[in-house]
Structure 1
């Protein structure tokens, strides 16, 4: 299964959680499809664990359910300890888009912030619709390479060592212009 480090770990639990969220909301597959613009058949395959979601699809599902991607992924992981060794940080891959997401400091009950390491291949781009939690605060610190981040219709070119900070209220886009991949740290602070 694409998107998982081990076939029976995060991907399988994510499929179960996605199915549970839809049930909790009382939505049919048709209703969820209408809310996310993801086909009914794709949603069904995701919930059965036959298909792993891309970053774009997962972003649409998170928006429909009012969760950040990190929060959703936290719900399928065991509660993290105070110390999160590098070898135990959950990693999620979206091979088609060239995106890798490491949850360096996973969300934790009672804490409002989390840290994510993201890498995006040269030439790759990710677009997100409206945020699942409007007004979420983000700080993006580029560790290697360059990324173009579009927020509020403004394109920001963020280079190694630069930090972009904002409150996310609408669509956003990440694009790595190359020639090398970009690696960045993302600090997310819930409102």
Structure 2
């Protein structure tokens, strides 16, 4: 194997250890999530075990980072960001961030269509949203709100919630989401916190 490949593979262990520590995870927790034994994880992190796809793919999913970031793959010559939309619940989510953990930003598109019956869902996290275009119907708990363009809302996603079009037209919004309950910190114009 070439010296360049050996150098790249040698850097994987410290990168894995740093990701795990950054998240405050133990080897036992990562082992439970990935199915990789603690001893194998420890040997990977210390460089005593060569990384392979069978080990790196589950770790990439567990740490929510692209495989390229785990191995430190060089960037290609194309500087464009290639966003990969996700389609769920009849809506389109375009990820605007790629960082592991912390806050994630999405552009969300709700297509035009007839009025939908709210089906509130819950999940871990905290969400802040801002309506760009269209009129959003937001149901959070027992509150049923209508938000025109330029309005924002924030809520704990463990509370039953639903987003849809208020008038059957398409809605476009930006969402900041923290899986661990991270919240957006808004400052007033003079720089002081509200």
Q: TM-score, normalised by structure 2?
A: 0.48
Rg larger in structure:
2
More strand per residue: 1
Q: TM-score, normalised by structure 1?
A: 0.49
Which protein has greater RCO, CA pairs closer than 8 Å, 6+ apart?
A: 1
